[in-house]
Amino acid sequence: MSNYPHPIIAREGWPYLAVLLALSLAATAFCALWSIPLWGATLFVLQFFRDPPRHIPEQPNAVVSAADGRVIVVGKTHDPYLQREALKISVFMNVFNVHSNRAPVGGLVKQRWYFPGTFLNASVDKASLENERNALWIRTRDGYDVTCVQIAGLIARRILCYVDQGAGLYKGQRYGFIRFGSRVDIYLPLTAKPKVSLGDKVSASSTILAEL
């Protein structure tokens, strides 16, 4: 299955691209040499806000990655949102990854939490509880509870989430965006079987993180 309801360049990046493109063109007309840094910035923003189509596995019990990046945590821990022991899988996004966030499972959003916080490097463990973050509690049709947490990073200062309590999500659905480097934590039931290891590179919607 494939899913792509949005343009190739994420809509969150349009204002940045419009301003940089206008400045680059103006600088080019005035002095081509001076325009080089602006064109460089334009290309960086263009690649940052790319949002390519992705294949979504049809396997019913699959938990897919909510973000592009590298797996930095796989293990048992305490889920601070649902107050339970859980399997935690974390994906770190650097500034060169796609930053569009996708639903790891399909289901009903039972609750949403937003916490203002600091902007530590998102790759460190304490960022999970100290950085600015937005968490969704999703209950699947089979009754599994999954917590999906967007976490701002050292450079990322803006979390965008387009769903709230009561919304229905399908697996792989685009539901948010984090600007300029960040992290996503997934908390799963302890019965879930991880399918990734530390250091693995993953793709949002396409890579299976675990099986419920």
Which positions are annotated as active-site residues? 182
As a whole number of angstroms, the distance between CA 37 and CA 56 comes to 38
Please identify which residue in the block is written with the tokens 């945590």.
Answer: 73
Which has the closest alpha carbon to 205: 59, 80, 72, 82? 59
Please identify which residue in the block is written with the tokens 């309590």.
Answer: 165
> Beta strands 133-139 and 159-161: pairing type?
unpaired
As a whole number of angstroms, the distance between CA 98 and CA 50 comes to 6
Q: Are 144 and 108 in contact (CB under 8 A)?
A: no
- C-alpha of 27 from chain center: 34
What the block records as the tokens of 114 is 């937003």
